[in-house]
Structures are given as structure tokens and as C-alpha cells.
Homo-oligomer: A and B are copies of this chain.
Amino acid sequence: MKAGVDLGGTKIQAVVVDAGHAVVGQARRETPTEGGPPAVAAEIAATVREAAASAGMDVRELAGVGVGSPGAIDRTAGTVAHARNLPDWERSYPLAGTLTEALGTTVLLDNDVQVAVAGEFELGAGRPYSSLLGVWWGTGVGGGLILDGKPWLGRGAAGEIGHMVVKRGGAHCPCGRRGCLEAYAGRASMESRARHLVEQGEKTALFEIMEERGRARLQSGVWARALEDGDRMATRLVDRAIGALGAGVASAVNLLDIEAVVVGGGLGTRLGPPYVERIAEAMQPHLFVAERPPAVLSAALGDLGGAIGATLLVS
């Protein structure tokens, strides 16, 4: 038995899996918004304990715990820095060491998108392929590469498909640069754009749906609902995101000629196959070998995918 944790800006999801990768226990808690890294580490430990308890065991019986985290990960040192969506988490924090001490079992860290993509490669939509690009479409646009059956990390920071340039001199990106894919397709950028258009006097039901649901942000379910209702602004902004994803992902395919693209992430998973199919269509006009596109697939492991992928860190 081993555990996996998906550490996100809003929630901490933990699972316990058996030797056949079946989920036998799970727990979910909200990510603390105060107290900085120590508070987040304590909450992760509590979530893992709860998941272990739901599987009828003690955490010390686990073979280990894998954690997928946002930010800049030092896999060897077990530290996380620059985790923008987590509270007061700029400087490097020894997350693996702190959790190992708190839980009394080995804890291994990796990038959240990388572990989710590894999960899809080993256990999900990517199983038939030896090379793939994972496109994690959520608040930002993350990516992960599997080449020749192994994760490709480069010098440690590979996979930043969200910061490939799709329009020189184009829209401002939350990263501070211009024309990045994420500036058009990241949910945070889409929300900024929607707020700007509302200020300009345009109409949309997006913010009403958000308030009805007691949310402060346009989360994926809000976008999905607005699309179902035929909201014009939501449709237009999602079309714009899909156009940018088509160009950016096609550029990556032209460079790497990989076999498959797996689309996951909050928005990718919530909107699902019909929208993933539209990304495939938007790639087509930009593909250099247009007659042989890669397979473009929806992530298959669902909401638990990140946590399940993180269990693969424990051998």
C-alpha cells in the first residue's frame, strides 16, 4: 500500500492505493489560506492520515507517500519554492523532510503536472503510447512530456507549454511576459479578460453563476455551466482559448512529433472529450505533417488522477 497527494491551490487530495493501483482509501481537505508552508504541510499530513484511516490502516504501514506539488521542485532535496497558488510560499521549504517526520514514512516530491501526466502514461489514456505530451488546462496551462517511455525533465523545468509564445506582442500573461499560450487559455487569464469585458459594458452570466455557487473565482464548473447555457462571452473566451491551445500544442507536435497528446487539468477534465476534440481540430491547420496528427485524448483518471499519479513516485 502506498499513498499519493495532489496539492492544489484550493484542495489537498490524498489517496491510498494497493499493489494493483486500485484506490482503497481517500480523503480531501481544503488548502489552508493562512499560516504559510508549515500550515499546508500539517494539513497534508492530516489528509494522508485520514486517507490511511479510511483504508483501515495507519500511515506508518504505508510503503511511502508521493506528493505532486505546484511551484519549483527540487526532487533530490525534497524542497518546494515559488508556489504561487499556495500561501506565503515564495522561499524554498523542505516539504518532503517535514512530512517524513510528521508521518513516519518516506515522502517523495515531484511537480504536480508531471505526476499527473506520469499517471496518465502508466495507468490512463496514455498507456498505448511511448511518447506523449500532457496538456494540463486549468488555472494555468501546464505540461509534461514522456519521451521514449520516460519523463523528459530537461534541466528540471521542461514542459512549460503554457509559456510557449503563440502571438508575439500579444496578450499579457500572469507570468509577466506577452503572447504566451497561458495568456489566452489559462483560466486565470480568461477570468481577467471576462472581468475586463464586463467593465467595458459587455454582458455575461459568468459572474452570476459564480455567486450562485458561492465562489470567488470562475472555476471550471462555472465555465461549463455558462457554456451549457449558451452564454456568448463564455463561448467566445473558450473559443479563443481553444484557438490558442490548437496553435501551441501543434507547435509542440511539430517540434517533437510525439504519438499522443493527453488533455487534463481542471478545465480540460470538466469540459471533457467534446472540447478536447475541438482542440484537436484547432491544431489541424498548424500541423506540419497534417495527414498524420497525433492521437488527442482526454485524461482518463479523472479528479483523482493527480493523487494516483503521485503514488507512482513510491517504487
Contacts and interface: CB of A to CB of B under 8 A. Distances in A.
A157 B257 contact: yes
A186 interface: no
A179 interface: yes
B292 A155 contact: yes
Given A255-B255, A285-B177, A250 B165 contact: yes
B163 A166 contact: no
A250 B82 CA distance: 21
B168 A243 contact: yes
Nearest to A179: B247
A286 B175 CA distance: 10
A161 B257 contact: no
Interface residues of A, number: 43
Interface string A218-262: 000000000000000000000000011001101110111111000
A251 B165 contact: yes
Interface stretch (A146-154, A196-204, A303-311): A146-154
A112 to B, nearest CB: 16
A256 B179 CA distance: 19
Contacts of A155: 257-259, 292
15 contacts: A154-B258, A154-B259, A156-B257, A157-B288, A158-B255, A160-B254, A160-B255, A160-B257, A164-B251, A165-B166, A165-B286, A168-B243, A168-B247, A175-B288, A252-B255
